[in-house]
Amino acid sequence: MDAVIVITFMTVPASVPDGVRVGGLFVYFHEVVLLAAVVYAGVRLRQAKPVGRRMLHSPVAIALGVFIVSVMIAVAHGLVAGYPIRDVQYDMRPVVAMVGAVFVAAVIVSLGDVARHVPALFFTLSGSALLMLVSSVTGLALSGREEAAQLYTTTGRLVAGGSDAHRLLTSTTPLALAVTLIAVALLLVGVGRTKMIVVLLIPALIVDFLSFSRNAFLGVGVMLAFLIVTAVVNGMLLRIIVRIAVALGVLAVALGLAFVGASSMGAHEWAQSQVSGYSNRVISGLDESTRTVDSSTQDRRLENHYLAESVGDKEILGNGLGLRYKPATGAPEEFAAGAGQLYAHNYYGWIRTKAGVLGLVAFLGVLATCVLPVILRNWRDGPSIAVAGTTAGLAAVIAVAPMPNDHGGSIVFGCLLGYAIARAACRGDVMKQDAAVTPDDILTRAVH
């Protein structure tokens, strides 16, 4: 599992390969270690057979089973329709990775082994944050996407003021967003060791900041709304409101100190460009008038149009995995002219056009069984509330960012679903061992 965390999510220089070609198939390294983790989890599950049986009967597991069946039908549909096998497997692989992550996470959580893997999480987040800072300052090329932290119209004109900042989207990005949401939720709910949570939150926030993405605001906003609703149901509204206010104050002070610290270290111009880029691309990009003209939003709206149009008369079962739902654009070697025809930012629209209403309803059922029951549970089950709030936040994000449909995002989402399955099966008996982990444990294990 440590290998899955590090190999899947670690930011690396652009020269480091992420897989090998075996015949006509490109195999990613993280897929190999995920398969090994599934085997490991299967062996460990034999130690907790009663828990395994309870997990199979949990509402989330049942809903996930229906979703898996809908995906299998979509695979068969795509093969019968004559789509190229390489296209069918391209659509299928993230779903398989997500299901594998569900199983591994459910077993680890049910056995109370989460704390054993926190050092690997810390190592991955902190190492990636450091490398991204170096890249931002020096221009070191990293694996992933690098582009100007600016918004443009479809004609190439700047929407807001320019800056020299560069946004970095790496394999760590989906993990950092999820860690940020769950860490903030844990702090607001008031469970877990604060120092341990902060140790993970700081590098996650750095990665989030350098991604210059509006998705973080969307995810945090929905997560906070979920916590407020849960607090109202449990009569804890005043407590959560006070903690949100305190958290905002601490964040403002921390950002101010970070800017002053960067300036005092001779990085004033760099810090100024980052703030300018964040203001221009993220803060200004939240305004509706900006989103009506910026190319990023318009590209997603055009993509949604193609998704809706491609459904046609196959509303129930969809068109099958492997459907190229939109026309190719750009040069032949570019992503938009190849795999980009299969890929979509709106995961709900992607499911609907590939697996039909059956797949969409099944996936919505998975989300509902993860989120809705937690609202009515006792406030003392803080970890479940935090994970459900994170799931709710990411459920909003995947309408504009294909987290379950990329390699890292599929594993992140799978881990959240696996946690929900284990918590429902164990009824609060898990994670007793996790409470003993300390920040010193994290640092010590990471070093060794």
pLDDT in tens, 52-89: 777 888 888 899 999 999 999 999 999 999 999 999 99
Q: Tokens in use for 50?
A: 């009663």
Q: Tokens in use for 192?
A: 């877990």
What is the band of 262 on the pLDDT scale with cuts at 50, 70, 90? Answer: low
pLDDT above 70: percentage of residues in the chain: 91
The pLDDT tens digits of the residues spanning 2-41 come to 999 999 999 999 999 999 998 878 899 999 999 999 999 9
Contacts of range 411-414, beta carbons closer than 8 Å, 24 or more positions apart: 411/4, 411/8, 411/30, 411/34, 411/97, 411/98, 411/100, 411/101, 412/101, 412/174, 412/175, 412/178, 413/98, 413/101, 414/97, 414/98, 414/99, 414/100, 414/101, 414/102, 414/104, 414/105
- Please check the confidence at residue 434 and state whether its pLDDT lies above 60: no
Weakest mean pLDDT among 116-120, 162-166, 436-440: 436-440
pLDDT of residue 435: 44
How many Cβ atoms from other residues are within 10 Å of residue 50's Cβ?
8
The pLDDT tens digits of the residues spanning 179-230 come to 999 999 999 888 778 888 999 999 999 999 999 999 999 999 999 999 999 8
CA triplet 164, 168, 172: central angle to 5 degrees?
Answer: 160
Q: Taking Cα atoms as reference points, which of 218, 208, 213 lies closest to residue 179?
A: 208
Helix, strand or coil, per DSSP, at residue 431: coil
What is the band of 49 on the pLDDT scale with cuts at 50, 70, 90? Answer: low
Query: Is the pLDDT higher at 132 or at 375?
Result: 132
Are β-strands 166-169 and 145-148 bridged in parallel, bridged antiparallel, or unpaired? antiparallel
pLDDT of residue 312: 84
CA triplet 225, 226, 230: central angle to 5 degrees?
Answer: 115
Q: What is the rounded CA–CA span in Å between residue 196 and residue 122?
A: 10
What is the band of 93 on the pLDDT scale with cuts at 50, 70, 90? Answer: very high
In the numeric block, the tokens 């907790």 are attached to 48
pLDDT of residue 379: 54
The pLDDT tens digits of the residues spanning 266-284 come to 677 888 888 888 888 888 8
Element (H, E) at 160: none
Length, in residues, of the chain: 448
pLDDT of residue 170: 94
- Please check the confidence at residue 107 and state whether its pLDDT lies above 50: yes
pLDDT of residue 409: 92
Q: Tokens in use for 388?
A: 């459900």
What is the band of 432 on the pLDDT scale with cuts at 50, 70, 90? Answer: very low
The pLDDT tens digits of the residues spanning 322-369 come to 999 998 887 777 887 788 899 899 999 999 999 999 999 999 999 999
The mean pLDDT of the chain is 86
Give residue 202's identity as a one-letter amino acid code: I
Query: Is the pLDDT higher at 264 or at 417?
Result: 417
Going from the C-alpha of 380 to that of each of 233, 243, 389, 393, 438, the distances in angstroms are 13, 16, 15, 21, 21
Name 146's bridge partners. Answer: 168
Query: Is the pLDDT higher at 283 or at 413?
Result: 413
